[in-house]
């Protein structure tokens, strides 16, 4: 049974949300079709004290979304070319989010948050989007039970500047990831789900 994850799901401690998202599905509905991927890897960013979190430098027009209600998206651009998708967690005014790093689509691994956004055609237009609405972009529980022992914990990637915070084991990855080929950087929603 497929169930869209409600706002209350994200209004919990960020590490709890992050770990529990592994094995759930990210779904994107688009005029070209629909694509769904089982979440393989995520990273947690927890509050203003977390030096790896964008909100650690204060509330700005860019980071304001992190202080918003849980369940909304935070999409931003890095290196001037890659979009990254996060979902806001915890209560209003506490800036925290989970970055979606890798998914499996029909046995193929889309590894890396930039590749994921390209394949799912996620860009800045989906920033601040309500991911609990069940439209355009959302998360689904499809009933799969993922035991804690199947999820590995690792340091986050690319946050060496965060000092001691970079060592936090706040990246969660499914240990039994798919063994199929990886999707290329140019894979798109249309290629993953041809109509």
Residues 6+ apart with CB under 8 A from 61: none
Structure tokens that stand for 161 in this block: 């500047």
What is the rounded distance in angstroms from the CA atom of residue 59 to the CA atom of residue 78? 19
Look up the pTM and report it. 0.90
pLDDT at 176: 75
Domain boundaries, the chain: 3-182
What's 166's DSSP letter? G
Q: Please, are residues 25 and 143 in contact by the beta-carbon 8 Å criterion?
A: no
What is the rounded distance in angstroms from the CA atom of residue 154 to the CA atom of residue 151? 10
For 187, phi then psi, to 5°, come to -60, 140
Per-residue pLDDT of the chain (195 residues; tens, 9 = 90+): 799 999 999 999 999 999 999 999 999 998 889 999 999 999 999 999 999 999 999 999 999 999 999 999 999 999 999 999 999 999 999 999 999 999 999 999 999 999 999 999 999 999 999 999 999 999 999 998 899 999 999 999 999 999 999 999 999 999 976 655 454 433 334 333 322
Write down the architecture of domain 3-182 according to CATH: Roll (3.10)
């Amino acid at each position: 049974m497929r169930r869209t994850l409600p706002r209350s799901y994200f209004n919990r401690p960020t590490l709890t949300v992050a770990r529990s998202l592994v094995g759930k599905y990210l779904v994107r509905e688009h005029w070209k079709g629909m694509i769904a991927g089982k979440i393989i890897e995520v990273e947690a960013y927890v509050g203003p004290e977390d030096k790896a979190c964008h909100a650690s430098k204060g509330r700005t027009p860019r980071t304001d979304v992190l202080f918003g209600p849980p369940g909304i998206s935070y999409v931003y651009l890095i290196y001037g070319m890659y979009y990254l998708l996060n979902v806001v967690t915890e209560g209003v005014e506490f800036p925290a989010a989970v970055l979606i790093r890798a998914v499996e689509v029909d046995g193929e691994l889309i590894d890396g948050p930039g590749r994921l956004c390209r394949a799912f055609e996620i860009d800045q237009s989906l920033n601040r989007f309500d991911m609990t609405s069940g439209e355009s972009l959302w998360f689904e529980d499809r009933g799969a039970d993922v035991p804690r022992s199947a999820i590995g914990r690792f340091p986050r990637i690319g946050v060496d500047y965060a000092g001691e915070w970079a060592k936090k084991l706040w990246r969660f990855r499914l240990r039994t990831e798919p063994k199929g080929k990886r999707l290329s950087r140019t894979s798109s929603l249309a290629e993953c789900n041809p109509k």
